[in-house]
Amino acid sequence: MSTTEIDVNALGEKIVRVIKTIFDPEIPVDIYELGLIYDVFVNEDYDVKILMTLTTPNCPVAETLPMEVEEKIKSIDEVKTAEVEITFDPPWSQDLMSEEAKLELGML
């Protein structure tokens, strides 16, 4: 494993830790455990792309939540650029939530 590979993996883990500090304002669970983050891409140049969704297309934080994610990711020293792409394919469902999130919300 090259040092770049290790660094990219470590940065990916750091990004996930930062994402776990962002909460959906309507549900007391972070957006990662809610299953709103579909993918985190990090290239060798430390450019980051986040593919995420929202609980609904007309979510009250549709404007602010992606910007919050982007700003928090950009605040990580190693990150050169960060971009958040919103998708509704596949649409979010409760099945995407982690066991931890379901437990937190009393669904287990």
pLDDT of residue 33: 96
Q: What is the pLDDT of residues 17-76, one digit of tens each?
A: 999 999 988 888 999 999 999 999 999 899 999 999 998 888 888 889 999 999 999 999
More confident residue, 35 or 5: 35
Q: What is the CA radius of gyration of the chain?
A: 14
Question: pTM score, two decimals?
Answer: 0.89
Count of all residues that appear for the chain in the document? 108
CATH architecture of 3-91: 2-Layer Sandwich (3.30)
Cα 68 from Cα 10, distance rounded (Å): 22
In the chain, domain spans: 3-91
